[in-house]
Homo-oligomer: A and B are copies of this chain.
Amino acid sequence: MTITDQLIKFAGVTPPKDALTMMRLSLFDWAACGIAGAREPDFADFVAGQLARGQGPATVIGGTSAPATTAALINGTLSHALDYDDTHFAHIGHPSVAVIPAVLALAEEVDAPLEEVIEAATIGVEASILTGIWLGRAHYQVGYHQTATAGAFGAALGSARLLGLEPDEIRNALGLCASMASGLKAQFGTMGKPLNAGLAARTGVEATLWAQSGMTAAHDGLAGPLGFGPTHHGQEEEVKPGKGDWHITSISHKFHACCHGLHAMLEAFGEARFCPDDVASIHIRTHPRWMSVCNIAEPTTGLAAKFSYAQTAAMTLLGHDTGAIASFIDAICVDVDVLAMREKIKISEDERLTETQVEISVKMDNGGLRRFRHDLLEPMSLEQRSEKLKSKGAAVLGDTRADTLWQVAQGDTLRDLTDQLLIS
């Protein structure tokens, strides 16, 4: 059975409860990232240009409505604009930003209950991770952005589930996706990166709607001759849809508004209890991969601060909330206390550590030595994850707004959720 046949069958599976619960958390997290992302001025002209093309039934985050394809494109882009959304490390991709905008936009067209949206999004997110695992590390390493490529197939399968497509129609939707899914890591550091997520969401919607309208496509667009895998450096790794724990249950959420390479360190400091005034020096050891990614020694802008071990370490030690987007401003890079703390911090690479691990040694003024370590893959209880996500939401949107958003994301009514997305 090829991956195409596996995904067609998987579209009809009932997700387990823990997968659905995690999807509810990711929906809340995605919505918070999207509402915050829509406040950024960078994409305003792009959004206005899309909205000028016509109205429709699907909510566009931050204030209006459009056809489902347009809403998926805009919402996917805006919710990834801050790079603060969820990640899965099995394939290295951001699943929610591709899948949720697609499923949500179509759900508004057919007026589906929120429960069905959650089910379809769960199928879609899991399908994107499975497709990403099937494509493998070679696909990612050569330059493809899994968020966009695997994401488009996940968005299509989630959309197909929501609209109840027949198996032959799903086959054509995946076949069309094989010609449309695209997106390069070459865009990192530009507006093209969030756009990749929006394009994946739109591709999912379009491939599904076009297949439903009778368009035909490659019989096995993923694994067949000249298919997406063979052409896109796919490794055709084995996957087992629906068997064992679902991958979505090991999704990672960001709790700091900066590069994911800094998160293990920030979590380690979060668990530590000592007074910053008593610190003599700090030594942080991390995986070599991150040295070229997020080790800017002396950042001078809020954006550069998001890619600096020393800067973010100093910020969190001095009580600045690294979960709040507003903390990352240019002024924080010239704060005298932060600068003084930065001076005490040394970073070095350590090949013993994995990409998700960090080790920290803190020498105190009194000569004492404290050691901390953290691994992002350590299991987190549902309660702990919920609390951390609520805190993140509050840091991003304020307490009241985050509380309301939490309620509607746990509720039954799609309209209650989309009404929240409309408020900028």
Confirm or deny: A45 has a beta carbon within 8 angstroms of a beta carbon on chain B. yes
Confirm or deny: A6 has a beta carbon within 8 angstroms of a beta carbon on chain B. no
**A53, A56, A148: most-surrounded residue (chain B CB, <10 A):** A53
B-side contacts of A232, CB under 8 Å: 231
Structural contact, B217 and A192, CB atoms closer than 8 A: yes
Structural contact, A144 and B231, CB atoms closer than 8 A: yes
Q: A191-B216, A192-B218 are in contact. Are A182 and B184 (CB under 8 A)?
A: no
A154-188: CB near B (< 8 Å → 1, else 0) gives 00000000000000000000011011111111110
**A43 nearest CB neighbor, chain B only:** B215
**A203 nearest CB neighbor, chain B only:** B182
The docked-state distance in angstroms from the alpha carbon of A381 to that of B253 is: 66
Q: A45-B214, A49-B210, A192-B218 are in contact. Are A143 and B184 (CB under 8 A)?
A: no
Confirm or deny: A226 has a beta carbon within 8 angstroms of a beta carbon on chain B. yes
Q: A145-B179, A184-B227, A185-B226 are in contact. List 15 more A-B contacts (CB 8 A).
A: A49-B213, A142-B231, A143-B231, A179-B183, A179-B184, A179-B195, A180-B199, A181-B182, A184-B218, A186-B218, A186-B227, A187-B217, A187-B218, A192-B217, A195-B215
B-side contacts of A235, CB under 8 Å: none
- How many A residues touch the partner, as a band? 35 or more
- 16 A-B pairs, CB-CB below 8 angstroms? A45-B213, A49-B209, A143-B226, A143-B231, A144-B231, A145-B179, A175-B187, A184-B231, A186-B226, A187-B218, A190-B216, A190-B218, A191-B215, A195-B210, A195-B217, A231-B233
The smallest C-beta distance from A184 to any residue of chain B, in angstroms, reads: 5
The smallest C-beta distance from A74 to any residue of chain B, in angstroms, reads: 12
A28-55: CB near B (< 8 Å → 1, else 0) gives 0000000000000011011001000111
The docked-state distance in angstroms from the alpha carbon of A192 to that of B207 is: 10
The docked-state distance in angstroms from the alpha carbon of A178 to that of B193 is: 12
B-side contacts of A87, CB under 8 Å: none
**A47 nearest CB neighbor, chain B only:** B213
**A224 nearest CB neighbor, chain B only:** B186
The docked-state distance in angstroms from the alpha carbon of A221 to that of B178 is: 21
Confirm or deny: A225 has a beta carbon within 8 angstroms of a beta carbon on chain B. yes
Confirm or deny: A228 has a beta carbon within 8 angstroms of a beta carbon on chain B. yes
Among B69, B178, B187, contact of A179 (Cβ-Cβ < 8 Å): B187
B-side contacts of A221, CB under 8 Å: 184, 186
The docked-state distance in angstroms from the alpha carbon of A145 to that of B217 is: 14
Confirm or deny: A196 has a beta carbon within 8 angstroms of a beta carbon on chain B. yes
Among B179, B185, B214, B230, contact of A182 (Cβ-Cβ < 8 Å): B179
B-side contacts of A42, CB under 8 Å: 214
B-side contacts of A56, CB under 8 Å: 53
Among B43, B49, B184, B217, contact of A191 (Cβ-Cβ < 8 Å): B217
Confirm or deny: A67 has a beta carbon within 8 angstroms of a beta carbon on chain B. yes
B-side contacts of A180, CB under 8 Å: 182-183, 199
Structural contact, A143 and B227, CB atoms closer than 8 A: yes
The docked-state distance in angstroms from the alpha carbon of A45 to that of B209 is: 10
The docked-state distance in angstroms from the alpha carbon of A70 to that of B179 is: 18
The docked-state distance in angstroms from the alpha carbon of A232 to that of B70 is: 28
B-side contacts of A183, CB under 8 Å: 179-180
Structural contact, A195 and B218, CB atoms closer than 8 A: no
Q: A195-B215, A210-B49, A216-B192 are in contact. Are A184 and B228 (CB under 8 A)?
A: yes
B-side contacts of A145, CB under 8 Å: 179
5 tightest A-B CB contacts, nearest first:
A54-B54, A143-B226, A192-B217, A186-B218, A45-B213
A43-87: CB near B (< 8 Å → 1, else 0) gives 101100100011110000000000101100000000000000000
The smallest C-beta distance from A155 to any residue of chain B, in angstroms, reads: 15
B-side contacts of A53, CB under 8 Å: 53-54, 56, 67, 69-70
The smallest C-beta distance from A159 to any residue of chain B, in angstroms, reads: 14
**A192 nearest CB neighbor, chain B only:** B217
B-side contacts of A187, CB under 8 Å: 175, 178-179, 217-218
